[in-house]
Amino acid sequence: ELHARAGRPNLFIKIPGTPEGLPAIEEAIFHGVPVNVTLLFSSEHHMAAADAWMTGIEQRIADGLPPDVPSVASLFMSRWDVKANPNVPAELRNKLGLAIGGRAYKAYVDLLASPRMMRLMNAGARPQRLLWASTGTKDPDASPTLYIDGLAAPYTVNTTPDSTLNACAAHGTDAPPPMPTDGGDAEEVIAQFAEAGVDACVLMLILFVSVLL
């Protein structure tokens, strides 16, 4: 209803990537409504959202409808470090968000190469894009472009705040190297946080609740 009232084909409707939101994502995509899946904090959340998008597209194909319905899956990044930094040694500060991103990007690359996604693309669908959200650096001692440089990757979107965009411009035009498709040292870094007493699963639950409040 909101999408129809706006009358703009490029309008994305935000739907939470919660268990309750997944059927709504699938249904909206089936009806041709672009969706911005929000409230994602992990690769597992992202994969569930991607599955809902793919199911909606598959239903459109089965009904003879055009499969080109765009979507993004928004993974919140800087919030990981905001919560983790007070509880870890200095050498681990501002590293958890990028590690979570590396894990998610590896899963995303694997998804893009999967037979299921290939079938959808062959039918004319464009893959749902992984979107890096909350990418303004919150720690004044860290680089203002931390989540821009560290999350540069093909087939992704970065919703850059104005202050971060200005910082990128001030730092010059050299593009950062793209993220490793295998996630780089993401799993090693996440293991280091576990050794330091930061459980990523518990922290993710805290993040989710804090956003809702």
Dihedral angle, C-alpha 56, 42, 180, 128, nearest 10 °: 20
Of 14, 83, 95, 138, the catalytic one is 14
Torsion of CA 93, 98, 102, 108, to 10 degrees: 150
Q: Is 95 designated active site? A: no
Phi, psi of 129 (to 5 degrees): -90, 140
Q: Look at residue 114 and give its three-state secondary structure.
A: coil
- Which DSSP category does 14 fall into? E
Q: Is-contact 71 37, C-beta < 8 A? A: yes
H-type helices in 63-195, by residue range?
Answer: 78-84, 96-112, 115-122, 146-149, 162-170, 186-195
| One-letter amino acid for residue 69 of the chain | V
In the chain, at which residue ranges do the beta strands (DSSP E only) sit? 13-16, 35-40, 71-76, 129-133, 156-158
Residues tagged active-site: 14
